[in-house]
Amino acid sequence: MNRIKLSLLSALGITALFAGNALAEINVAASFSITEDIVHEIGGDRVKVTAVIPRGSNPHSYSLRPQDLMTLEKADIVFLTGLGFDDYLKRWASAPEHQKKIVDISRGIKPIQNENDDHEGEDHENEHEYHAEHEHHHQGTDPHAWQNPLNGAVYAENIRRELCNREPDSCEFFTGNADNYIKSLKNLDSRYQELFARVPDKNRIMITTHDAFNYLADRYRIKILAPRGITDSHEPSAGDIAAIEKLMKENKVHAVFIENLAANAAVEDLSRKNGRVINGMLFTDSLAEEPEGNTYLRMIEHNLRVIHDAMSQ
């Protein structure tokens, strides 16, 4: 299909591009791998999309590289994740000539405020580190809205609308793709609404080391216990481990989770030692190379399945 379109275009010559019927390719920069994937689902081969933060990188501590600035400059549209996620390009985004191509895909999402913001005055020892790692959490708004698939559907609709504005000739194509995609996200959501509703309240508790699942927890009525001060970017200290163990025992928690960005061998040990805990891995701030986490839809399905399995055992 691609090859046919290409040879047709070269046969018609470059002037055809301006004749109205040829399909212009939209150049898109996406904040990170999840946004990139959703743009790809909707834009298909009519959009060229590049993620600014590459897969596997930690957005909590990202700084723009020269090649990222190139990506941003070349883009017709820059899709940002919003809700305080995009601090790493705050300076770039503040220039008026850049502002006009920026679109915040979180528009219409009901934000959740970060409860862990109340640690001021405590944990003095770790305060410096904590602030550096979690700067984007300190706006009071939790940016991890993608952990609820219905918010993914909002992203998708915002992206569809902007692509349609930019390229009305392809709007039908974008809308068809978006409809299918949003349907898949909504089906996934209703399936897990039903499944979680059958899990007893006392089992709907989880511990995570990185406070990334508030939107998921809110949607499926899960209680999250997050030991404070533990970040995803360094090994938990002996004190961190003790805090986790205490939480587990006090609350009879079935599920402790380790993230794809974490190097938490110590937490894994703890899980094994306490028997009742699974070693489920959840995807948080990036898509992964593994097939179960290499698209947004698969990543969310994986997270919901692993959490549900842990709570129903």
**Rounded to 5°, angle at Cα 269 from 267 and 270:** 65
- Burial of 106 from C-beta contacts in 10 A (0-12 / 13-18 / 19+): buried
Q: Which stretch binds Zn ion (CB under 5 A): 46-54, 212-220, 238-246, 266-274?
A: 212-220
* Minimum CB distance to Zn ion, residue 134 (Å): 8
Residue whose entry in the numeric block shows the structure tokens 């952990």: 147
Between 72 and 212, name the residue whose CB sits nearer to Zn ion: 212
Q: Which stretch binds Zn ion (CB under 5 A): 148-156, 180-188, 222-230, 277-285?
A: 277-285
Tell me 252's DSSP state: T
Q: How far apart are CA 293 and CA 256, in angstroms?
A: 19
285 lines the binding site for Zn ion (CB under 5 A): yes
Please give the residue whose beta carbon sits closest to Zn ion in the complex: 285
* Minimum CB distance to Zn ion, residue 15 (Å): 48
Q: Which stretch binds Zn ion (CB under 5 A): 164-172, 185-193, 240-248, 284-292?
A: 284-292
* Minimum CB distance to Zn ion, residue 200 (Å): 29
Q: Which stretch binds Zn ion (CB under 5 A): 78-86, 175-183, 185-193, 208-216?
A: 208-216
Q: What are phi and psi of 161, to 5 degrees?
A: -60, -45
Hey, which residues does 50 pair with through a beta bridge?
29
189 lines the binding site for Zn ion (CB under 5 A): no
Whether 306 and 280 have beta carbons less than 8 Å apart is answered as yes
* Minimum CB distance to Zn ion, residue 22 (Å): 41
* Minimum CB distance to Zn ion, residue 43 (Å): 25
Residue whose entry in the numeric block shows the structure tokens 């974490």: 262
Whether 50 and 71 have beta carbons less than 8 Å apart is answered as yes
Q: Considering only CA atoms, which of 223, 265, 264, 228 is closest in space to residue 246?
A: 228
* Minimum CB distance to Zn ion, residue 117 (Å): 14
Between 58 and 203, name the residue whose CB sits nearer to Zn ion: 58
Residues in touch with Zn ion (CB under 5 A): 212, 285
